[in-house]
Amino acid sequence: MRNGMTALRTTTGHLLRGLRGRTGPPHTFGRRRHATPAARPSERPDDWLCDTIDAFGWAIQYVVGDEGAPPFAYTIGLSEYRHPELILFGTDQYTAGGVLNALGKRVRHRRPPGTGAPLTLDGWPHRVHLVRVPDSSGFLLGANFRYRAPGGPPVPALQVVHDDLWGRFPWESGYGMDRARQPVLGAPPAS
C-alpha cells in the first residue's frame, strides 16, 4: 500500500483502499495480539489491524448498514495520538475513507480538527461538524477492544457530521436527508 494509500477494511474482511500519508505516530501504546478467527487463511484480523496502524498511523473499519441501521466507518489508532477516534455515518466506504483519512492527517500533523465551527475538506463539497460521542462502546467496537482499559470508560470519540446538499446539518430546520441515515450520537453544537 504505497503511493498515498492506506487500508480500509469492511466488516466482511475485504480490503479496500483510501487516501493516506504517514510518517509515524508520536508514540505507540504497544501491540495487543489476541487469538481471533482468521479473516483470510494467512492473517488474523488483529494482525491486519496492528500492521495497518504501525504502517499508516490508524486503520478504518467500515460497517455495512442494513434496513435497520445506516452504514458507518470509524478510525482505530487516533488514540495513539492522544486524540479521540472518529466516526462517520451514511456514506459509502470510499467517501468515508477519504474523509476520515483527511481528518486523521490533521491529527497526525498536530493540527487536530476542533469541535467549534464547521470544517471543510479539500475535494469534498460538504462541511462537517465534530460532535462529542458520549458513549462509543456501541459503535467503535474495534477501537474499544484495542484501547479501552478493563473496567474503564469507553474510548473518547468524535462524530463527523456532514451537511446536506443545501448546507444544513441534521439538527437544523429543513435538513434534506433522511435523519436515520446519519444519526447524531451526541449533543449538536450550540448555534
pLDDT tens per residue, range 113-170 = 777 789 999 889 999 999 999 999 999 999 999 999 999 999 999 999 999 999 999 9
E strand or H helix at 143: helix 141-147
Q: For residues 125 and 17, what is the distance between their CA atoms, to the nearest angstrom?
A: 21
- Which three cell numbers, joined as nine digits, stand for 181? 441515515
**Of 18 and 81, more confident:** 81
Query: β-strands 157-162, 85-89: how paired?
Result: parallel
Q: Residue 40 pLDDT > 90, yes or no?
A: no
Sign of the CA dihedral running 63, 112, 2, 25 = negative
Q: Residue 47 has what pLDDT?
A: 85
Please provide residue 9's backbone torsions phi and psi, each rounded to the nearest 5 degrees.
-125, 135
- Residue found by looking up cell 504502517 in the block: 55
Please provide residue 108's backbone torsions phi and psi, each rounded to the nearest 5 degrees.
-60, -35
Please provide residue 96's backbone torsions phi and psi, each rounded to the nearest 5 degrees.
-60, -45
Q: What is the extent of the structural domain holding 149?
A: 5-181
> Which of 24-38, 53-67, 91-105, 145-159 bottoms out in mean pLDDT, i.e. has the lowest?
24-38
Is residue 96 situated within a structural domain? yes
- Angstrom distances, CA of residue 92 to CA of 16, 38, 108, 109: 12, 25, 24, 26
> Which of 39-43, 75-79, 95-99 bottoms out in mean pLDDT, i.e. has the lowest?
39-43
Is residue 191 situated within a structural domain? no
- Cβ atoms of 166 and 174 within 8 Å: the answer is yes
Count: domains in the chain: 1
Is residue 189 situated within a structural domain? no
Is residue 166 situated within a structural domain? yes
Q: Residue 48 has what pLDDT?
A: 87
